[in-house]
């Protein structure tokens, strides 16, 4: 779905810029679809989740990645897994997205074309695309439900101990 992000009118640019602006980092109009600029500016936003919430990030490792590799450009490249090949994936897949995410188009495509797929749409959250980070308990519950075997394993008690 990279072709969507290649357009300046992709809704994700507005989501990303909004997060930066709400975090005190205005985004000039000419930079709203500049991946490198947005990535670098994102490093100035304090951590928003977990025990380090509110603390500054250590930008050095990520800046090194941006400066010494082609990761920003590579993220926009299509590899050997083209849209036409998505249907060939036989591994069970669980999609976890947030209602209102800028990536729901990707969710919808994958949900339609993957042969063995489950979809989990988390409730809308304050930061949109970051909904899974804002709702870790709910994500954990969904992951446990997906991983729980339909039938008890022979020789294994419910607590995971061998009988």
Mark out the alpha helices in the chain (DSSP H runs). 2-5, 11-22, 35-42, 60-68, 71-74, 104-113, 131-134, 136-147
What's the pLDDT score for residue 154?
Answer: 65
Q: What average pLDDT does the chain have? A: 85
What's the pLDDT score for residue 133?
Answer: 84
19 exposed, middle or buried (CB, 10 Å; 0-12, 13-18, 19+)?
buried
What's the pLDDT score for residue 153?
Answer: 60
What's the pLDDT score for residue 71?
Answer: 81
94 φ, ψ (degrees, to nearest 5): -115, 120
Each residue of 89-123: pLDDT tens digit? 999 999 999 998 888 888 999 999 999 999 999 99
What tokens does 152 get?
């008890």
Selection from 11, 63, 60 nearest residue 36 by Cα? 63
64 exposed, middle or buried (CB, 10 Å; 0-12, 13-18, 19+)?
exposed
What's the pLDDT score for residue 158?
Answer: 59
pLDDT, tens digit only, all 163 positions of the chain = 455 556 777 788 888 898 899 999 999 999 998 888 999 999 999 888 778 888 999 999 999 998 999 887 776 667 788 888 999 999 999 999 999 888 888 899 999 999 999 999 999 887 777 778 889 999 999 999 999 876 666 665 555 555 5
pTM above 0.75, yes or no: no
């Amino acid at each position: 779905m990279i072709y969507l992000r290649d357009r300046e009118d992709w809704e994700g640019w507005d989501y990303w810029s909004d997060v930066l602006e709400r975090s005190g980092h205005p985004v000039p109009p000419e930079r709203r679809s500049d991946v490198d600029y947005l990535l670098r500016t994102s490093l100035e936003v304090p951590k928003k989740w977990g025990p380090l919430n509110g603390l500054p990030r250590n930008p050095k490792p990520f800046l090194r990645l941006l400066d010494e590799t082609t990761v920003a450009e590579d993220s926009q490249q299509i590899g050997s897994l083209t849209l036409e090949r998505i249907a060939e994936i036989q591994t069970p897949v669980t999609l976890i997205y947030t209602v209102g995410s800028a990536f729901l188009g990707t969710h919808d495509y994958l949900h339609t074309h993957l042969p063995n797929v489950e979809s989990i749409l988390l409730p809308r959250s304050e930061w949109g695309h970051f909904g899974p980070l804002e709702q870790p308990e709910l994500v954990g519950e969904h992951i446990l439900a997906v991983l729980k075997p339909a039938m008890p394993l022979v020789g294994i008690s419910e607590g995971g101990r061998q009988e």
